[in-house]
Structure formats: C-alpha cells, structure tokens
C-alpha cells in the first residue's frame, strides 16, 4: 500500500523501479477489477511504456514529485491515446487526440496512467449507478455504492489498484466518493485548475482535483496540476502556493465555524463525529463556533436547474455527427435521435430535457435566471460566514455509503444525497473531504470549506485533523 510520498521515497532510493511498481499495481488492478468494476479501461501497454520512460528520468536525476507513480483517471477526462468514454456508450469508441491540461502536466513529469475509471455517465449521479458500463462496488462493503460520480476513482484508490486518482467535481463528485471510501478528496476553487480536456458537464461549476490516501498526497498533486492555463480562460493567474510546505504550519488560533444548517438533522451517531472533530480542533488551540448559512436549503434546487441547463447546451455536441457513435439511419433526424437514444443513460436524458425546458423561451427568467439570482445569495452566505471564521467544518454527506439500488429509481432522493456538497460547488469555493470516523464499520467524511483560493489553508486544517485523529489509516 503506497502513498505518493512513500512511493516517491521508494523510487528515489532505488528500492523499487517504476516498472516494478507499475507491474505490481497493474496486476492488482486486473485481479480486483472483476469484483469492483472500478476501471473501464486498464491501459497496460501504455502504463509499462510510461514506467520505462519514468525509470530513465529517475536514473538521470530528473524526477519530479509524481514521476513513475501509477495513477488512475476518471473516464470523463480526456487522455491522449487512451479511450475516454465518460461511461456513456455514445463515446464507446472515443480515443482523444489530446490530454486534458492537468493530465498533460502529470504525464510531462513522468506520471504513469494505469487506466480509466468508471463513473456516472458524464458525471451525472451520486452512486455510480448511472454508468453504462455497470455499477461500481464499494470496497468497504460490496453491497454498497462507492459514491458518485467519481465512484471508480475512489474505489480503486481504496482497494489500492492505483496510488491516487484525478477526478472531476461539479457538485460533489470528488468529495462524496472520497467520503464513502475513507479517502481525501479536494474540490478546488473554480478557476484554480484548468478544465481544458475535462468533458464539460456544467461549465460554470466543473472543477478537477485529486482523490488520495492522505492530505499530503493531495497537496503534492495540487502543486503539480494547479495554475493558469491559456486553454481555459476561467483559470486565475494567482501563483500556486507551496501546498506541501504549508501543511505543517501551526493552526493555533484558527477560527472554525460549524454551519448549523448542516448538522440540525444529523442523527446522533453522525453528530458525534462532528462533535469529536470540534473537540480535536479545540485541543489544537482553535476556536470553534456556530455559524449560519441561511440559504443552504436552496442549493440543491439551484444546482439542479443550473446544471441541467448548462448540460443541455454542452451535451448537444454529442449527436453522432460532431461527436459520438453514429446510429445507422437514413435521414439526419433519425441519426440524431437514435444516436442519442442509445448513447445516453436515463439520467443524462432527464437532465437534457429538464435543461432544455428551463432555458426555453418564456421559462428562462422563471428558472435559469432565478436560479442564478439565488446562487448569488448562496455565495453571499459564504462571504458573510468567512467574515467571522477562517474555515467551515461540516459533514460531507448526510449518511455513509448507501446500498446499491436504494435510490436508483428515485432521482430526487439521489439529488438530496448532494445536500452538503452542493452549496460550496454553487458558490465556487474550495472544499476538501477527509476521513472523519466510522459508523457501523462504514467510513464517514468531514469536509473543510474555505474562501476562494484558500486551498492552502483548508489543506492545513485537514492535515492537522488527519494527524490528530488517524481515521485515514484504516483500510477496507
């Protein structure tokens, strides 16, 4: 079981070569994948070739932090020369001719892609059951979901089929699966990491970030992938802080707010996890206080109008003509209809229809525009809270991992699973989920939410919490 930090040490001291390490991970990934279904594609040849090149780099003393380390990539992220389906049959045969910027940066260092990970199709879901390549099983309990949409990315790290993953979070897809698998998952501030090559879901919310075993690993990946990108005009020019160096700095005096709207309905066993976390911080010399984010309840309705609206526009290019597997039909209308009918799962179709409706003439003001106005209120909630406290501490999810099938036929119940991950996404602020404890032997995550561009601070709070509690050490 390697972390990025321990793999780096082993590689640099020549205890192991990247080719040996990669072979070890490939064989574990192949052995475990029939059980968990975490990978759609295992890229064996590409991985071994990358490992060979990485060993050369290490020999020449040119290794970066991620050189030679096997990782996995969510299948909704483009990888040059490796099939990228977004878990939808419409892209069953799609092999991108280019890398997403974040992937290009890791590959340039000599990172080794083991394979492409199962997810809810185009990132739509919270359980990974909306994949057209089958559900993913949670390594902590194979009758339960691994979370979504980045379920394969989390399950494969939890089962040690790769050292870390790169995933996408539009409204919780990194944090919620991380929470369900006892891992660390960071949704960066909107604009911190390039979205270039991330298959777009909702362009005003999409972000890309790491799922890792430790907070330190998360900081290492962020240092490698963050920063401005001329290919994504929404990236910010702010310099990328030395996240790893900042982790060990003192958090004495840090003001931590617990939003009351996030805990008011928590059952006692989950409330205890939040109380214990608050105590841990008090013991570290932090000040813990109650805060309010009054518009929390509107985040899910707002999210589920804005996201389908932007979805319906973004996904229109998947029509069997511009992109996607083309149905064999005689006339254009039927090419479009049949390609989309067979290429998308029900949830994607639902969002395209809801979004098309919300954006249509006469309804735009009532839905999309209204949702954007309420979105501003949600942003202000956070701004006001951050006038009083430095960081917010909250549960990542309302429950631990639920059973496969439990919410599959109830879209609203599935949407409500996003209740605590949606608000930060809507506001564009960063949040990191870390292992918070266990209930009935299932992991439960807590998240730290901070103001825009405060990744260094929320990672520091997460690191001290991780070190003080040790919950992340437990593996399935």
For ligand GLN, the closer of residues 160 and 168 by Cβ is 168
> Contact 38/31 with Cβ under 8 angstroms?
no
For ligand GLN, the closer of residues 171 and 210 by Cβ is 171
Give yes or no: 173 in active site. yes
Which residue number places its CB atom closest to ligand GLN?
173
In 3D space, the residue among 431, 385, 432 whose CA is nearest the CA of residue 290 turns out to be 385
Output the smallest distance, CB 161 to ligand GLN, in A.
21
d(CA 59, CA 41): 30
For ligand GLN, the closer of residues 50 and 431 by Cβ is 431
Contact mark string toward ligand GLN, 112..151, x via CB under 6 A: -----------xxxx----------------------x--
Our finding on whether 352 is near ligand GLN (CB under 6 A) is no
Our finding on whether 307 is near ligand GLN (CB under 6 A) is yes
- Where helices occur in 90-131 by DSSP H, the ranges are 101-109
Structure tokens that stand for 147 in this block:
């979370």
DSSP calls for 268-306: HHHHHHHHHHHHHHHHTT-EEEEE--TTGGGHHHHHHHH
Tell me phi and psi for residue 466, to 5 degrees: -60, -45
Tell me phi and psi for residue 346, to 5 degrees: -55, -40
Output the smallest distance, CB 87 to ligand GLN, in A.
11
d(CA 448, CA 429): 11
Our finding on whether 456 is near ligand GLN (CB under 6 A) is no
Give yes or no: 74 in active site. yes
Sheet hosting strand 112-117, strand order edge to edge: 39-42, 112-117, 70-74, 164-169, 207-212, 184-187, 431-439, 442-449, 391-395, 255-259, 287-291
Output the smallest distance, CB 90 to ligand GLN, in A.
17
> Contact 459/243 with Cβ under 8 angstroms?
yes
- Compute the chain's Rg from CA coordinates: 21
For ligand GLN, the closer of residues 23 and 416 by Cβ is 416
Tell me phi and psi for residue 204, to 5 degrees: -85, 0
The window from 29-37, 135-143, 169-177, 294-302 that contacts ligand GLN (CB under 6 A) reads: 169-177
Indicate the SS3 state at residue 208. strand
Our finding on whether 170 is near ligand GLN (CB under 6 A) is yes
Burial class (CB in 10 A: 0-12, 13-18, 19+), 245: exposed
> Contact 5/214 with Cβ under 8 angstroms?
yes
Q: What angle do CA 72, 104, 70 make, to 5 degrees?
A: 30
The window from 56-64, 163-171, 395-403, 468-476 that contacts ligand GLN (CB under 6 A) reads: 163-171
Output the smallest distance, CB 369 to ligand GLN, in A.
21
Overall residue count recorded for the chain in this entry: 476
Our finding on whether 311 is near ligand GLN (CB under 6 A) is no
Which residue in 17, 109, 131, 173 binds ligand GLN (CB under 6 A)?
A: 173
Output the smallest distance, CB 122 to ligand GLN, in A.
8
Our finding on whether 153 is near ligand GLN (CB under 6 A) is no
Catalytic residue among 32, 74, 89, 407: 74
Q: How many residues bind ligand GLN (CB under 6 A)?
A: 14
Our finding on whether 306 is near ligand GLN (CB under 6 A) is no
Catalytic residue among 84, 87, 173, 189: 173
Give yes or no: 250 in active site. no
Catalytic residue among 17, 149, 150, 189: 149
Our finding on whether 201 is near ligand GLN (CB under 6 A) is yes
The total of other beta-carbon atoms located within 10 Å of residue 156's CB is: 34
Output the smallest distance, CB 232 to ligand GLN, in A.
17
The window from 45-53, 56-64, 104-112, 164-172 that contacts ligand GLN (CB under 6 A) reads: 164-172
Q: Does an H or E element contain 231, and which?
A: none
Output the smallest distance, CB 453 to ligand GLN, in A.
20
Rounded to an integer, what is the distance from CA 22 to the centroid of its chain?
Answer: 23
Our finding on whether 172 is near ligand GLN (CB under 6 A) is yes
d(CA 465, CA 443): 16
Which residue in 129, 169, 381, 455 binds ligand GLN (CB under 6 A)?
A: 169
Where do we find the tokens 């059973």? 403
Our finding on whether 171 is near ligand GLN (CB under 6 A) is yes
For ligand GLN, the closer of residues 41 and 149 by Cβ is 149
For ligand GLN, the closer of residues 65 and 153 by Cβ is 153
Contact mark string toward ligand GLN, 411..450, x via CB under 6 A: -------x--------------------------------
Could you list the residues that contact ligand GLN (CB under 6 A)? 123-126, 149, 168-173, 201, 307, 418
Task: Give the residue numbers annotated as catalytic, written as ranges.
Answer: 74, 149, 173
């Amino acid at each position: 079981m390697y972390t990025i930090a321990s793999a780096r040490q082993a590689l640099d001291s020549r205890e192991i070569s990247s080719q040996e390490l990669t072979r070890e991970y490939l064989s574990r990934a192949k052995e475990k994948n029939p059980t968990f279904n975490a990978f759609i594609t295992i890229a064996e040849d590409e991985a071994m070739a990358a490992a060979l090149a990485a060993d050369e780099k290490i020999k020449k003393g040119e290794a970066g932090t991620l050189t030679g380390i096997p990782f996995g990539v969510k299948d909704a992220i483009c990888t040059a020369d490796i099939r990228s389906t977004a878990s939808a049959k419409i892209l069953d045969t799609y092999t991108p001719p280019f890398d997403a910027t974040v992937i290009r940066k890791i590959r340039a260092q000599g990172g080794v892609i083991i394979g492409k990970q199962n997810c809810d199709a185009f990132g739509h879901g919270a359980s990974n059951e909306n994949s057209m390549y089958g559900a993913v099983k949670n390594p902590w309990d194979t009758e339960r979901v691994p979370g979504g949409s980045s379920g394969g990315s989390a399950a494969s790290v939890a089962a040690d089929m790769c050292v870390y993953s790169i995933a996408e979070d539009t409204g919780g897809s990194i944090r919620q699966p991380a929470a369900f698998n006892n891992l660390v998952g960071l949704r960066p501030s909107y604009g911190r990491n390039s979205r270039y090559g991330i298959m777009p879901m909702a362009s005003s919310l999409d972000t890309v970030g790491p799922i890792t075993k430790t907070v330190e690993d998360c900081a290492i990946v962020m240092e490698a992938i963050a920063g401005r990108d001329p290919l994504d005009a929404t990236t910010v020019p702010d310099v990328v802080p030395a996240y790893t160096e900042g982790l060990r700095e003192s958090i004495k005096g840090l003001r931590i707010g617990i939003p009351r709207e996030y805990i008011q309905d928590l059952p006692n066993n989950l409330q205890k996890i939040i109380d214990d976390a608050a105590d841990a911080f008090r013991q570290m010399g932090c000040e813990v206080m109650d805060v309010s984010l009054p518009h929390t309840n509107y985040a899910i309705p707002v999210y589920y109008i804005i996201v389908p609206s932007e979805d319906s526009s973004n996904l229109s290019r998947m029509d069997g003509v511009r992109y996607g597997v083309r149905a064999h039909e005689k006339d254009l209308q039927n090419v479009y209809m049949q390609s989309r009918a067979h290429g998308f799962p029900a949830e994607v179709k639902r969002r395209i229809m809801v979004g098309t409706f919300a954006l249509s003439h006469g309804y735009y003001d009532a839905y999309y525009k209204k949702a954007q106005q309420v979105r501003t209120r949600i942003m202000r909630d956070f701004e006001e809270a951050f006038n009083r406290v430095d960081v917010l501490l909250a549960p990542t999810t309302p429950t631990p991992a639920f059973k496969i099938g439990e919410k599959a036929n109830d879209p609203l119940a599935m949407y409500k699973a996003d209740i605590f991950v949606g608000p930060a996404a809507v506001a564009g602020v960063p949040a990191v989920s870390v292992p918070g404890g266990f209930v009935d032997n299932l992991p439960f995550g807590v998240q730290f939410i901070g103001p825009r561009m405060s990744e260094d601070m929320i990672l520091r709070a997460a690191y001290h919490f991780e070190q003080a509690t040790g919950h992340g050490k437990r593996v399935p």
